[in-house]
Amino acid sequence: MKTSARNHFAGEVSGIKSGAVNDEVTLKVGDATLVAIVTQDSTKALGLATGSKAFALIKASSVIVMVDADPAKISARNVLTGTVKAVKAGAVNTEVTITAGKLEIAAIITNESATRLGLAAGKPASAVVKASSVIIAVD
């Protein structure tokens, strides 16, 4: 599968909660858990069921970077806490790579934000992603 999303993680569906229109799909990815919100039509079209294989796709521009964060005090369902692996500044934006357990997640943030947060390799940081920003795919 080829995709423009910088973050793509293979996993297994560990749970599905159905709502009136949307489903909450929980995907076990290594030692982490990612939650996605998809339509019930998508759940059916993709053949998602507990135990099925799937991918989580997350655009780097959809990743929020936090430092000194308390995951219990944020509404986003996906908070991957770890360490900054790399910081690459561009003319306007900075690419930040965070290692959280066995996952590496890329984020694109403004240079101003990277400076304000004091991001540097080896510093603790969290990658935050709303469940509605996680795209689920299957082969």
Query: Quick one: pLDDT at residue 69?
Result: 78
What domains sit in the chain, N to C, each tagged with a CATH number?
Answer: 7-58+131-137 (2.40.50.100), 60-128 (2.40.50.100)
**β-pairing verdict for 78-89 and 124-129:** antiparallel
Report pLDDT for 17: 98
Which pLDDT does position 61 carry in this prediction? 98
Q: Can you state the percent helix, strand and coil of the chain, rounding each to 5? A: 15, 55, 30
- Is 139:1 a contact under the CB 8 Å cutoff? yes
Percent of the chain with pLDDT over 90: 95
Q: Render pLDDT for 23-82 as a digit per residue (tens, 0 to 9).
A: 999 999 999 999 999 999 999 999 999 999 999 999 999 999 999 978 899 999 999 999
Instruction: Please give the model's pTM, rounded to 2 decimal places.
Output: 0.94
**Distant-in-sequence, close-in-space partners of 123: CB < 8 Å, separation ≥ 6:** 67, 83, 84
